[in-house]
Amino acid sequence: MLQCEELKDDEGPSNTLEQFTELEQVLEMIDTMKDCDAPGFEKDYEQYTEILSRYQEQPHLLDPHLNVLLERLLAKVHNRALSEGEMHAAFKYMYIITKVRTYKVLVKFLPHELTDLEFALELLERQNPNEYNQWETRYILLLWMSILVLNPFHMSRLDAYATTSSAPATSGNCVDTTQLLNHTHSKSKMERIFDLCQLYSATNDTCSNIAAYLAAKYLVRADIKDIYLERYLDWVMSEHQSETSDAKFGELAAISAILKHGKREDLLPYADKLLKWIVGLQYKESNDFLKYKCYIKIVQRIGLVYLKPRLAGWRYKRGTRSLATNLNKTTNATANESAGGNETDTDNADADGEEIIVPDAIEEVIEELLQALRSGGSDIRWSAAKGIGRVTNRLSKELADEVIGSVIDILNPLEPHEAWHGACLALAELAKRGLLLPHRLRTLVPLLMQALFYDEMKGYMSVGQHIRDAACYMCWAFARAYNPEDFQPFVEQISSGLLTVAVFDREINCRRAAAAAFQESVGRLGNFPHGIEISTATDFFSVGLRQNSYLNVGDYIAQFEEYQKPLIDHLVERKVNHWDTMIRELTAKALYKLTFRAPEYMSTVVLAQLLGKTESIDINMRHGTVLAIGEVTLALSEIERRDEGNACKKLLSNQLLTDLNELMAKYVHRDMFRGMSGEIMKHCCTDFIRNCSLARIEASITCIESWQYIIDKCLLNKASAIREGASAAFAELCRSYYKGDERAAVNADIIRSYLKGATNIMEEHTRMGYISALGALPDFMIKANLDDVLESLIRHSLTPTQAVITTGEAMNQHENLATGTWSEARRDSVKALSNVVHTLGFSRESKISFGNPKYFNKVVDCFIKAMDEYTLDNRGDIGAWVREAAMNAIQQLVTTCPKDLLQPEQVHKIMLGFMQQAVEKIDRTRGLAGRLFCQIITTTPPIPHIRHHERLLEIFPADVNSVLWLFADQTFPLFCSLLELPDYSQRVLLGLSASIGQLTESLIKYSSAAFFEFLRTHPAEVPRLCKEIVANFQENVMNERVTYPMLNFLDILISSGTINVVLLDESNSFGDDIYRLLNLEIKGHKKLYKLVSSISVYCQLVQVPHLCKRILSKMAIFLGLTHVHVRKTSATKLYEALALHGDSCDIPEENMDEILNILSETDWGSPLITVRPVRNQLCELMGIKPPVSGVAGTSFETAGVAGAAAGVSAAVRIRN
């Protein structure tokens, strides 16, 4: 919880905006606005959109400046001098403001002078509805018209003052001007606006919604409704017949908006006709939720037209509500609430005596709304719920009671989950309006509790999240609706239910909704037990993390006795068998913590319930139950040991112990570990065995044998989680039950079987399981068999080749092929070996410990060799797993062992290995190596025999966490500083060559930058480093893991110019050595990628004068090879080399231009018969002999490179 509090403090309102700071920038962008079709408009428009979108979450910050922004944009629109493209651009800019601030707010800021009406009307008429590129123009004009039509003057008078159009000239995307003027003169403004409402509400684009809004504002005017309202309604109804499939949503939205904004007395004459029409459309039968949503909105608003606006006099009125009063819980506050709790509404007192006339059509309206509560669309259910609340508020008490009863009847097990969700929303809306009288609570609260915990499987998914969320909304509404006295009988149920959901629900939104409802109840009602303390603990951030909610918040709430049993019962009844494995595991851990709060209840009630569920056929139930039993048993045993010596009741009775002993044996007897369900059972059973072993319960021989059988079975499983669980269980089982002289023979048999199993060469996971078990052995079992265990683990920690070198035994060819790529097994063996070292320790009093140099040196040598594994397969560098395990093991070993055991040579090899890994290519491995290396050199007491230790402490920080070790830009500069130390530089260079020679751009960038910076600042070190580069190349010739990146590394290094002082020194053999090693590397190989990489290095050596002719001869061979890619690459690289370093070659100047022209203009992808004569011409110009293809072994072209290039065609065995 402390972590959550820190998180909450850090995530304050620091990311909120205070004001619209970009006003000047936006105004400047408006002033410099370009034409829509002008170059650069899209870029400016995107920048403008990006600025305003920042305020999407806080749009109110724009309000003080909307007048200025709209004034500038509308000035552009009114300006006749501007082109039509700039006018459309202004409307696009206005639309972005509308999108951020919403049209309902923006419309209030638009100008509404009479002079603007004619301008906007004519401009809108000029637009082409089918021109989709300028839809923003039509959108804003329709929105503008919706405020202009609200002018207080009679619309017919406006035609007497018609003025000359001031709208801009038209172009291709507007209707014809002549036709428009004729149209204008023939119709009144009233008719023209009506035509526009029809035109744009019939479109299916974004403009249709605004057209519906305009129609609603226009057609409900007093001077328009009598002329055009019925006509418009008839037109829409004629457009939407029952057989119409392509519904126009704008028209339906217009009807809905008219029913919303119009007066009841104006709409009542059309209500019957509209209801008959809309019900006859049968839109609810279709799968189109958008149609159904419009349908429900129209139906509910027709219902409101039928009923007079009123507030039901019979509704429940809470009276005075004060948060401060509730929190103080004063007597006066309670008295005041009681006095004002059920006061009548004097404003509506006369309404009770008035007879309410309810048309028969209301029954059909309510029936449609009730059916919509079962719809598959959440938006539809939400709209229907609000409609039921609004309609019910205008009914008499008797009719409203029937409606409420119908809604409550939906909450039954036979209804689908959609119906439960809709009913919960409807009941919440009724409660908010005071329409749920207190006598209904006795019926509703049990249904509410069912909704709070609704979670059912439907195929491969679970449904219920939305229902639980809606149930929390119900609780929130109840808290605001009722007096504490009326709600008091249900406080215990609802408070427990809300807290249970708040801490134990799977979904974060449900947990937060329940926490919010609980806090609302605490504030409004003031009678929830321990409300303030719990509300503080169950805040938004605390319940946001599921693990924190289960294990910390739940445990905190359980300290209050009122909530202990409800929390525990919920876990046992509903979460132990949850469909999500993670929830079942968290449930078991939560029950472990809650056991300390109510140990007797757990012992006498809960354990018996859980044991009874172990017979279930539901695999989820069995899995969760076994996990829970193990955790509760462990907690009870810890409580017994803690209270040992005090007079306390025994929590684990003999009957419980008997049941626990028989449980695993029963599963083994029934063979319940087969198939998919068996995999799940293996996981929980190993966890159960581990917990029972930690608890050290009294176990029979049969019980222990069944436990050992299960562990042996799980050790062979393919799933790593099951194997790890089995190893952990085996370790605790041995510590608790295998100690004693009478077990010596049995223990020896177990170890022998595990040692034999570890030699398996058929399946990797089998070896991994047995090796992990060997690493989990306790000290009293290892000591008797240390030599055998150590030999086995060391052998299996190394590759077959390394193992042969280490042990001297003959290599089994079959084993080498089978286990060569078993890096995961070797990783587990390294970890097991580290565990064995940690278990036995470094005692000097016993020879059978790692204080004995005999054993200690074996282990250290094994770890050092494991740190040099680079196994590759189709998964990549899988040897990195072994190297990481070895580095962790070494760091733990050297920092905990007696320092006099460490030999100087061992320490040096360890440091070299860490340095190399810290500059290699894999981020994860490099970060781990850097962190552990820094810990080793800064550990206290200091590790002896570290060369240049003082200099290392100067380079690396004392605080390991001050460096981000995963980031190359922070680690490479540190380790490149080690290049000044000859004892370390060669291995660092080996790692750097792997990083700089890779294909990852960011890695190359930072590694090469750090390396070249060192070379520039330490020129005296360059000759030595070049010798070491040659040594690394020499030692790893034909080792593709090293040489392939080495070729790229050399290309980058030589091209950088940082080693020119060595490269151009005739007395230095660096260039000759590289040339010689390149020839060795590509000789006899057929791998194209290596040939291509070598070409780049060859061409870089052109700048060495005495090598130039040899390099040109080599390139001439490459230019004549059969591989097109090799020829093209050779030509390109040679062109670049000669262009840069041609003056170093002994080529006549008059020939150089011709050579470069031939290299660049020749199509080197042409057939060899065409290319080779060109190649020979180049050779003559460069002053070298053309290559000759002859008998194998007589020419380098055939004997040296022909193999690498997959051979040369037999048809060209003559001189070209």
- 503 has a pLDDT exceeding 90: yes
Mean pLDDT, the chain, rounded, equals 86
Name the residue with higher pLDDT: 738 or 338.
738
Q: In the predicted model, what is the mean pLDDT of residues 261-286?
A: 86
Cβ atoms of 248 and 239 closer than 8 Å: yes
pLDDT at residue 1000, rounded to an integer: 85
Task: Determine the pLDDT at residue 3.
Answer: 40
Task: Give the pLDDT score at 559.
Answer: 94
pLDDT digits 0-9 by tens, 911-936 = 999 999 999 999 999 999 999 999 99
Cα–Cα distances in Å, from 255 out to 142, 147, 267, 390, 835? Answer: 17, 19, 11, 19, 76
User: Rounded to two decimals, what is the model's pTM?
Assistant: 0.81
Model pLDDT, residue 177: 41
**Average pLDDT, integer, range 796-807:** 82
- To 10 degrees, what angle do helices 1001-1017 and 1040-1056 make? 60
> pLDDT, tens digit, for every residue of 1055-1072?
998 999 998 888 889 999
Dump pLDDT digits (tens) for 1095-1126: 999 999 998 888 888 999 989 998 888 889 98
User: Tens digit of pLDDT for each residue in 11-42?
Assistant: 444 467 788 889 999 999 999 988 888 888 99
Helix residue ranges per DSSP H, 108-246: 114-126, 135-148, 177-186, 189-201, 207-219, 230-239
Q: What is the pLDDT at residue 586?
A: 96
Higher pLDDT, 1088 or 445: 445
Nearest by Cα to 919 from 995, 1011, 868: 995
Three-state DSSP at 558 gives coil
Percentage of residues in the chain with pLDDT exceeding 70? Answer: 89
Tens-digit pLDDT profile for residues 1161-1215 = 999 988 989 999 999 999 988 888 888 864 333 333 433 343 333 333 333 332 3
pLDDT at 189: 85
Q: For residue 354, what pLDDT is reported? A: 57
Tokens of 44: 């400016």
Confidence of residue 832 (pLDDT cuts 50, 70, 90): very high
The predicted model gives 904-916 an average pLDDT of 95
Residue 941, preceding bond cis, omega within 30 degrees?
yes
CA–CA distance, 1054 with 1043 (Å, rounded to integer): 16
pLDDT of 446 higher than 90: yes
pLDDT-based confidence at 1091, cuts 50/70/90?
confident
Q: How confident is the model at residue 247 (pLDDT cuts 50, 70, 90)?
A: low
**248 in Cβ contact with 211 (< 8 Å):** no
The answer, yes or no, to whether residue 616 has pLDDT greater than 80, is yes
Q: Is the pLDDT of residue 997 over 50?
A: yes
Q: What is the pLDDT of residue 251?
A: 87
pLDDT beyond 80 at 339: no
Q: Which is nearest to 426 in space by CA: 390, 398, 399?
A: 390
Calculate mean pLDDT across residues 874-881.
91
Output the pLDDT for position 646. 66
pLDDT value at 352 more than 50? no
Question: Which tens digit of pLDDT belongs to each residue from 768-791?
Answer: 999 999 999 999 999 888 999 999
Give the mean model confidence (pLDDT) for residues 329-346. Answer: 42
With beta carbons less than 8 A apart as the criterion, state whether 809 and 801 touch: no
Over the stretch 549-580, which tens digit does the pLDDT of each residue have?
A: 999 999 999 999 999 999 999 999 999 999 99
